[in-house]
Structures are given as structure tokens and as C-alpha cells.
A and B are shown apart, each in its own frame.
Chain A
Amino acid sequence: MAHSTSTTRSIPPFRSTECRPEWSARLRQVALASLVLPALLLAPAVARAREYLQVFVAQPYLELHTGPGRGYPVFHAVPRDASVDVLFRRTEWFKVRTERGVEGWASQAEMLKTVLADGSPFVFGLGDRAGFTSHRGEMGLFAGAWGGANYVSGYASLSFNPQLALEGAVGQFLGRFSNGVTGDLGLTHVIVPEARASPFLMLGVGEVHTEPKATLVQASNRTESMAYVGGGVRFYLARRFFVRGEFKAHWILTKRNRNEEADEWKLGFAFFF
């Protein structure tokens, strides 16, 4: 439903400007410079002047909190039809700046009720069941077993659509007879993405680097290719969280006479974004 008065709205002439004291800006530069690599890469993005999205309050008022959390007190209320600039988002909270330059935190639920200048609703990705069904990416960490050894693993995935995703995982196995690292890349097919407990199947290739413990006879480190097929279940918990349990059956393509097989079982926490 379009907002009837939105077409005649103009951008308010007053816009607060950055007026930090100089020492604060310098302090910030020094601190950023001290974190050499990430800062060098990303500082320009932080420092660049940005054009912020302006949204209008459509509910009676928009409450601004002093911090990004449900317990922080409300210190300011933006009246209906006034606008705020959306500075950035942190988890479920938006840092906004009013026309008078007051900065505060507005919750995701409150921001859903605001509208853009043309009256259309302000839409953004929410961390809920709908997001669990259809999202851009996932990340998670696992504990488990790899061929009988303890296994620590992390993964990230990029979804093409709710059903199909490209997935990469790295892990380290630490056992009594050998240690090693694994890395693999493959496709994951989620069978029923809209279900709370949704099963999936996986197919892919990878590499495994094995370092046998020195007390054994065959004690040379080796790196081998592998291929896997697997399956698992992801179970939505709340917000952006889900539990994921999976099994991968690996074929390790060795340079010896016969190929090896290794089973990977793991269970972990993951989130989508």
C-alpha cells in the first residue's frame, strides 16, 4: 500500500555533518593503523563518505535506544513522518541518525514499520524461519570424528537458490596415529528447504594432508586428493541459528596400490546470513 503523502515529500534541508573533535579522528587513525593488514585493506571503506538511506517513521514514533540490545534504555523518540538516516546495522539493530543529528539504535522490528521516501516499505533480510529457507550464505563450526580421529572443522556456503549451494569446508583431524588437515569443495542439495528439520545430500572433491606420528613405520607426510558423497540434516533453532549434523564418505585417491576410505561424522552450530 502506497503512502499517500509520500510523493510531495522533500528531503529535509538540515543534515547533520560529522563534527568530531580532531583528536578523536587522529586517535581513530592511529588505532586503525595499528591493525596493519585488515586496516590497510578496509580503512578506505570506513573513511569514505557515504550516502545513507533515509527512511520515514510511519508508526506513531520510533524509539531510539542507547545501545544495540533489548535492555538498553530508550532515550529519544522520533515522531511520525520525521526521517532518519540509516548509518549501519549490527546484528538485529540499526544505528540511525535523526534530522537533528541525534544518533541511536533502533530495533529490527521497529525499522520494519518505517517506509522509504516513495512510501514503499523498508525491506531487509530478517533472521527468521523464512531466512532459514532461503538465504545467501551459511557458516558454521563442527566437532566430530574423521576416520576415528578427533575432528575440528568449519564450513562456509554460498546458496544459488534455496535448494542448491556451493560449500567449502576445512578441518583438522588429531588422532593417536596421525594428524592432518582436510579441505573440500562441493555441492549441497537441500531436499526440503522449508522444513524445520531439512535433510540434504552432498557431493564434492577435496584434499587431505596426513602427517603420521613419528613412531610408526611408514612415517612420511603425504597429500592426497579425495572425493566424497554425504548426507545430513540441518535443524532450525531460533533467530539465525541452526544445528547441522552430517556424514561424509570419502574416497582417498592414494598413490599406493589401493585407495583408502575414510568416514567423517560431525555435528555443529551454524548460522545463515
Chain B
Amino acid sequence: METGIRILLLTALLAALPGCASVRDWFHQRAERRAERRAAEAQRTEPRESEPPQDESAPPRVIEPEVSRRKITVPRIRSSNVELGLDYGALSIEDFGTNPVYGITAGYHITEDFFFQAEAGRSRGGRTSFETLGGNIQLLTESERRFTYYDLSLGYNFLPGEAFIGRGIAMTNAFYLLGGIGGTDFAGDTKFTVNFGAGYRIVPADWLAVHVTVQDRVFQSSLLGTTKLTNNLEARIGTTVFF
């Protein structure tokens, strides 16, 4: 049956591909090209508008305006939607104690309300209470205790506002909600991980932001005998730079 779907899709693709043959103006959607074309059109049409009407009875023009039209080159306007940064905090790994975590964050602001965020971080699992009580028992090797995660999330800014320091300094800020998916590499296995959380962002300068984020990373684990959903709460503070 699956081979049937493949053949069907291939046939549809073959039927639709002639549309791709019209690639005469590649990248034609770029705004610069459009602006150039519009400017050229404007130049073509303008002289016609400014021409005096061909009327014999009209008095001759005294002054011929000799104004050279300036050519405007539109410099590329810098977009500053990308945020890159580092963060540090504490991660509570279920059954393995709370440990420091450090990570990197990359964000892309799509609208004033929504943004995408990618994160990666690393921590270490401590000893479980079973290991501590049991004396010389080791559940995991040292390398298996390394807790590495990544996630791709969608963020929503809510309650945006301004924060003030004294009379002279105002900084924009916002709370945001985060939710996404990713993977967690812990105890010798990579688990599908769902994350959700909230954060607070303050922007002291147009190029700088400081974040405080709390997130829960949920994945299924059967490490301690039974299969269960583990909640791994993380709180961290970070700083990002806008590009």
C-alpha cells in the first residue's frame, strides 16, 4: 500500500513539475527588486505628467525648472529579530537531585507577540537516594549521568510593559509563555521531551536582553523499574544579544 502512495505522489509531482519551468525570474519576489522596478516606472511616467498642455493660447513659460531628480539608493534596513545568548541555572532531575545547568539560546522574533526559540543545555544527574542509602551501588556510569537536552519552542509574549529605574531609565519588558518539543540525552538513552514554561525578559538596551525562565521538561523514563513520566524543573537566568 505504501508503495502505492509513493507512486501516486511521484505521478502527481511529475504532473505538477511543468509549473517549475517558469523560473525565468528567480528571486523576483525580493523587495529590493520590486522597489527598483517601481522607481523605474515612476521615472518613466513622471515626465509625461509634468509636460505642459499643448495649448497655443497659453502664455509661454518664463522659467524652465531645471531640477535634476535625485536618485535614491535605498540602503538595506537592518532587521534585528534574532537573539543569541547564554544562560545558567539549576535543573532538578527527577530522582537525581538538583544540579547546575548551563546552556545556549537562540530566538527569532516573528511578530511582536510570537517568537521561536531553540535551546540546548547540559547538566549532571546526582546520586539517587537509593544509591546514597545502598552504599556502594552505582546506577549509572559517570558519562551516563550527563544530562543534555535540546528543544524547539514557540513563545508568546504577554503583559508587555516598561520597567523604570529612577526617573531617567525606562526598559521594555514582557512575560512570555513557552512550549515546545525536543530531546533529552540522559542515562544512555535519548528521550522525546515535551517542555513548557514561562519567563520574563527585560531589555535594557535595544541590543541586549536579560531573561529569567522557568521550564518543565517532561519525558518518559523507565530507569527505576517502572515506566513513568518524569518532570524535570529548570530555572535559569540568561543574557542575550539581538542581531
A residues adjacent to B (C-beta < 8 A)? 2, 7-8, 28, 31-32, 34-35, 38-39, 42, 46, 50-53, 66-72, 86-95, 116-118, 120-121, 123-125, 127, 134-136, 139, 141, 143, 150, 152, 154, 159-164, 172, 174, 179, 187, 189, 191, 201-203, 213, 229-231, 239-241, 247, 249, 251, 261, 263, 269, 271
Contacts and interface: CB of A to CB of B under 8 A. Distances in A.
A161 B66 CA distance: 42
A124 B183 contact: no
Given A8-B67, A35-B85, A136-B30, A160 B23 contact: yes
A116 B72 contact: yes
Contact of A161 (B23, B110, B114): B23
B77 A189 contact: no
Contacts of A203: 10, 13
Interface string B145-157: 0000000101001
A261 B5 CA distance: 12
A67 B72 CA distance: 29
15 contacts: A52-B75, A68-B172, A71-B161, A88-B79, A91-B110, A91-B112, A93-B112, A117-B70, A141-B116, A152-B152, A163-B19, A172-B183, A201-B13, A231-B9, A239-B110
A127 B202 CA distance: 26
A120 B49 CA distance: 15
Given A189-B16, A201-B12, A241-B110, A91 B81 contact: yes
A81 to B, nearest CB: 16
B112 A68 contact: yes
B31 interface: yes
Nearest to B154: A269
A249 B9 contact: yes
Interface of B: 2-3, 5-6, 9-10, 12-13, 16-17, 19-20, 22-23, 25-31, 34-35, 38-39, 42, 46, 49, 67, 69-72, 74-75, 77-81, 84-86, 108-112, 114, 116, 118, 152, 154, 157, 160-162, 170, 172, 180-183, 189-192, 205-208, 239, 241-243
Contact of B42 (A2, A66, A163): A2
Given A68-B112, A271-B116, 16 more contacts: A2-B42, A2-B49, A31-B208, A32-B241, A35-B239, A35-B241, A88-B79, A90-B242, A120-B38, A123-B34, A150-B192, A152-B183, A191-B16, A229-B6, A261-B2, A271-B110
Contacts of B22: 161, 163
A173 B29 CA distance: 35
Contact of B74 (A50, A53, A70, A229): A53
Contact of A240 (B2, B111, B207): B111
Contacts of A67: 160, 162, 172
**Closest CB pairs A-B (n = 3):** A150-B192, A67-B172, A134-B29
B75 A139 contact: no
A5 to B, nearest CB: 11
Contacts of A247: 5
Contacts of B205: 28
Given A120-B39, A134-B29, A189 B9 contact: no
Contacts of B34: 123
Contacts of B49: 2
Contacts of B39: 118, 120
A58 to B, nearest CB: 15
A38 B207 CA distance: 13
B206 A117 contact: no
A123 B35 contact: yes
| Best-surrounded residue of B34, B85, B170, B190 (most CB of chain A within 10 A) | B190
A90 B79 contact: yes
Contact of A88 (B77, B110, B190): B77
Contacts of B12: 201, 231
B29 to A, nearest CB: 4
A141 B30 CA distance: 24
Contacts of A86: 77
A66 B3 CA distance: 59
A71 B17 CA distance: 47
Given A143-B181, A174-B191, A162 B111 contact: no
Given A72-B162, A152-B183, A189-B20, A240 B79 contact: no
Contacts of B78: 50, 87-89
